[in-house]
Amino acid sequence: MAVHNTLAAMGLAQVGPIQRGSLGEGRETRYSVDLPSECATVIAIGSGDVRDLDLAVLDAEDRELGRDSTTASQAAVKICPPHGGRFSLVVRMTRGSGDFVLASWSGAPSASSPPTAKPVEEAAGTCESPIP
C-alpha cells in the first residue's frame, strides 16, 4: 500500500491489477500485462524469506526490454516501449523463497508533485529504527 500511495502521489497511474505469487529458489514465473505506449515502471517486492528477486520485461516476441538483476528482495524496471501492447513480466527467485507482489505503473513523475518524504539532511531514521 505504501508503494501504491507513493507512486500515485508522484503522478503515476497503476496499470492492471496487483499480482501476487510465490516461488521457490531457482524458479521463475511469467505474467502478461497490457502496457500503454508511454513509459512504464514495473515493481516486484518479496516477503521476508526472499533474498534475491529478479525481474525482466519482454515484448511480444520475447525480446528483453529491461531487467533488474540487483541482489535484493525487490526489483524495479522502467521501460519506454515504442508502442503499447501485451508484454511479459518474468519474475525469478534467485535466492530465498516466498511470496511477492508485482505491479505496473505508467506515466512520468510530476514535477509539481509535493515531496512525500523529508529531505535527506532532515531525516533521522535508520533501517533498524525507521521514521514512522
Asked if residue 4 lies in contact with residue 15, where contact means CB atoms within 8 angstroms, the answer is: no
Asked if residue 14 lies in contact with residue 102, where contact means CB atoms within 8 angstroms, the answer is: no
* Phi-psi domain of 3 (left: phi exceeds 0; alpha: psi -120 through 50; beta: other): alpha
What is the pTM (predicted TM-score) of this model?
0.75
AA letter at 48: G
Pairwise pLDDT comparison (82 vs 29), residue with the higher score: 29
The model's pLDDT over 31-73, given as tens digits with 9 standing for 90+, comes to 999 988 888 999 999 998 999 999 999 999 999 999 998 999 9
The model's pLDDT over 76-127, given as tens digits with 9 standing for 90+, comes to 999 998 889 999 999 999 999 999 999 998 876 555 444 444 444 444 566 6
